[in-house]
Chain A
Amino acid sequence: MTNQAPLLQITNLHAQVANGGQKILNGLNLTVNAGEIHAIMGPNGSGKSTLSKVLAGHPSIEVTAGEVLYKGQNLLELEPNERATAGVFLAFQYPIELPGVNNTTFLRMAYNGKQKANDLPELDEAGFAEFLKTKLPLVEMKDDYLHRCVNAGFSGGEKKRNEILQMAVLNPCLSILDETDSGLDIDALRIVANGVNQLMSADKAILLVTHYQRLLDYIEPTFVHVLANGQIVTSGDKSLALELEAKGYDWLLPHPQQAEVAV
């Protein structure tokens, strides 16, 4: 590696539900370099989705301490839309329906918004239609999705594929995939994973938040981290995921009684 700043550097991150709610992240540290895929695993309630939300800037989560640098820049002071145009992308666990908003129109707004923010040329309707045609095969989507309203009446699998289509259009540097595999059948999982793999390159990074090893059969992680009680408790390579699949998480969690003895 060169001595370039990491793509993402999270230091001692504390976060809670906004307006004085429950504490969820408790001093999380993570460094992600370009070219790496990091899988974030962990039991329910460990803070995986909260981490995704913090990075994307969801207003329901409040950061109380710590630092998040994206390409050396303070990510937390950017508005969510500024993070997006700077190249951070969140694929939602539950994509939102936007009735009345045409899918193509939405994709073009997003694309042109990013182009404009980065002083790059925007595409007109015809130009964008051509551009979009080249992205559809990535997620094996047909044209007719484009004429529907964003996610409205989409099946679970269609919604997830639509997320990856958005990722393809925005071509982000840092993608956070929040349980993108949940609710997908085997074929849809393969399609989504193929799309993600094709979008990955040496200058980008992916954070894969997942419960299951099976996604990692398709998208091979550089590192696997286990999140528990709002911290990363252990990290390893892809073999860690297989071990977790076999043994569960319990052996990694601090045992309350032992903790008392230690005090």
Chain B
Amino acid sequence: MSTTQTIDAINQDYQFGFTSAIESDAFPKGLSEDVVRAISAKKGEPDFMLDFRLKSYHQWLTMEPPTWADVDYPPIDFQDIIYYSAPKSVEKKQSLDEVDPELLATFAKLGIPLSEQKRLSNVAVDAVFDSVSIATTFKKDLAKHGVIFCSLTEALEEHPELVKKYIGTVVPATDNYFSALNSAVFTEGSFVYIPEGVTCPMDLSTYFRINTEGTGQFERTLIIADKGSKVSYLEGCTAPKFDSKQLHAAVVELIALDDAEIKYSTVQNWFAGDPKTGAGGIYNFVTKRGNCKGNRSRIFWTQVETGSAITWKYPSCILTGDDSVGEFYSVALTNHFQQADTGTKMIHLGKNTRSRIVSKGISAGVSKNSYRGSVVIKPNAENARNFTQCDSMLIGQTCHANTYPYIQVENPSANLEHEATTSRISEDQLFYFQSRGIPTEEAVATLVSGFCQDVFNELPGEFAAEAGKLLAIKLENSVG
């Protein structure tokens, strides 16, 4: 990233805080069995899906919200949330010409051109606006390779057998409170299937946008990489500024069969709440998990978490297949009143399984940033290896950084390494930059960028630049 870009970026506020004037077709607030049935009916789903939703809903009713995370928030009123909201004018979209121009303008503002321009950067995009998928680009090109990339709703219509076979197999509805809620009321998401032996010819990408105030976003992503296939998937998120909190409870499931590889990258920039009062912002309570089901399969998670009032998120890998590999690279930045409790779980089941965790936490303002990670080696996981590196950087005197590593080893042949550091950006470091003519904001951005380099290196090119820029914006005025 060039320094000029950084400087330009520093002077920006949250730039995605606009709302678009688009008529929406929304359910009234509240959750009941009728609402769950209505969502399913609205989408014309097959019976197995309705059963799945109803089971999840009844399960959810018996569950309590988790309290173990190091985050504080008042109880959520689940009857005060809209569970379905769709832009009115896009009932069916065969081509982009039919999409509401206001919507296209919104996505253009977000830097997501859905039209031909995207051809140049060779990324296929699925755009989700509130509860529905607006458009998926490059479907035809991908179909030539046998790759299925569409909204989950379309997948249920066109490939119900694939959805039925895999949905809920990695994150069962009963997994946790928020996954149960999602399983009952999810409205949209992306579906990806890469056939045997195919390397997906382009990066796939989903952009999520919450637009309607009071709307919960409950999307569900399902990615299946068949034997010997390979795919790189990018996820980006933004939301307008509202004074009230908004709930985002997503579920992402990845399945990698023998010799397959999935790389899942996220740059998350939800609205974090008012910097001065902490009002508003997104509760980002997300369950992401991949199953390295096949032998020699590989799943890589890379996340840059910059937004959200509260982040509760642990992208994890179940290393089922022998010789499978799970990696997790994370930058989590909290500033002002933000709270993050994030990390990963690596569950080693197969022989010779390997996992690697690199976590970088940056805290500024009065924020709270916790890394929570779990490495589990089960009895059959002969020769499992894990390397964990967990670094925290503090900016200022009023923020918190915590690390909660859990290790559970049931096979003596395991080899685990854990490294952790805590550092602070010192006045002397900033003065050293200044004495060489480099202003403080740029100095902070450079130090933070250097701190995160190991993670940024894992991001696809375009995202790496975006991530560096985002961090600079988020840390604006955090020093001095």
Contacts and interface: CB of A to CB of B under 8 A. Distances in A.
Interface of A: 56-60, 79-81, 83-85, 89-90, 92, 95-96, 98-102, 105-106, 109-110, 112-114, 117, 149, 166, 170
Contact of A109 (B426, B427, B440, B446): B446
Interface of B: 3, 423, 426-429, 431-440, 442, 446-447, 449-451, 453
B432 A57 contact: no
A112 B3 contact: yes
Contact of A79 (B427, B434, B446, B447): B434
A170 B433 CA distance: 13
A110 B429 contact: no
A105 B450 CA distance: 11
Given A84-B436, A100-B453, A166-B436, A109 B431 contact: no
Nearest to A88: B435
Nearest to A96: B432
Contacts of A113: 3, 436-438
Nearest to B454: A100
Contacts of B423: 99
Contacts of A56: 431, 435
Nearest to A105: B446
B450 A100 contact: yes
A101 B439 contact: no
A90 B435 contact: yes
A84 B435 contact: yes
A239 to B, nearest CB: 33
A101 B450 contact: yes
A171 to B, nearest CB: 12
A100 B447 contact: yes
A84 B438 CA distance: 8
B429 A100 contact: no
A105 B3 CA distance: 10
Q: Nearest 10 A-B pairs (CB), nearest first?
A: A100-B450, A84-B437, A80-B434, A96-B432, A110-B436, A113-B437, A85-B437, A81-B434, A101-B450, A81-B439
B428 A117 contact: no
Contact of A100 (B435, B438, B440, B451): B451
A148 to B, nearest CB: 12
A83 to B, nearest CB: 8
26 contacts: A57-B434, A79-B439, A80-B431, A81-B437, A83-B435, A84-B437, A92-B435, A96-B428, A96-B429, A96-B431, A98-B429, A98-B433, A98-B450, A99-B451, A100-B449, A100-B450, A100-B453, A101-B446, A101-B447, A106-B446, A109-B438, A110-B436, A110-B437, A110-B438, A113-B3, A113-B437
Residue among A56, A90, A101 facing the most chain B CB atoms (10 A cut-off)? A101
B276 to A, nearest CB: 25
Contacts of A98: 429, 432-433, 447, 450
A107 B419 CA distance: 31
Contacts of B453: 100
A37 to B, nearest CB: 21
A55 to B, nearest CB: 10
A81 B450 contact: no
Contacts of A117: 437
Contacts of B439: 79, 81
Nearest to B439: A81
Nearest to B453: A100
Contacts of B450: 98-102, 149
Contacts of A85: 437
Contacts of A149: 450
A98 B442 CA distance: 14
A170 B437 contact: yes
